Copies of this chain bind each other. A is one copy, B any other.
């Protein structure tokens, strides 16, 4: 398992899905998944996707600036730390954000998002 390859593939897939088919993110979370979105705690795939699809903008485009990753211990998990810009349709200025994911291995040799923490970086 190469954490760099896993995290790059995940980041590409996650933000492309977010920007084109937000409801499709459901496949990346499970019942044990946790999201902290701007300080609000949400648990479980259905609740997390309900939150993400109800955000008050229809179209958006993420541009990734940095991706850092580390193995999270002996369990095969991967920590991914992302910074980037979020451009909302109709807004002049992009928002800066930071986000971390803890990817956890599945029995099918894939990964799901166990932990997800998102913050906008206010200027």
Q: Residues of A at under 8 Å CB distance from B?
A: 34, 36, 39, 41, 66, 68-73, 75, 77, 79, 81, 83, 96, 98, 100, 102, 104, 114-115, 117, 119, 121, 123
Pick the residue among B77, B100, B121 that contacts A100 (CB under 8 A).
B100
Pick the residue among B71, B77, B98 that contacts A98 (CB under 8 A).
B98
Q: List 13 A-B contacts (CB under 8 A).
A: A34-B70, A34-B71, A36-B68, A39-B66, A41-B70, A66-B119, A68-B117, A72-B77, A73-B75, A79-B117, A81-B98, A81-B100, A121-B121
Of A34, A71, A115, chain B has the most CB atoms within 10 Å of the CB of A115
- Which of chain B's residues have a CB closer than 8 A to the CB of A115? 70, 72, 79
Total copies of the chain:
2
How far is A72 from B71 in the complex, measured between Cα atoms in Å?
Answer: 13
- Shortest A72–chain B CB gap in Å is 6
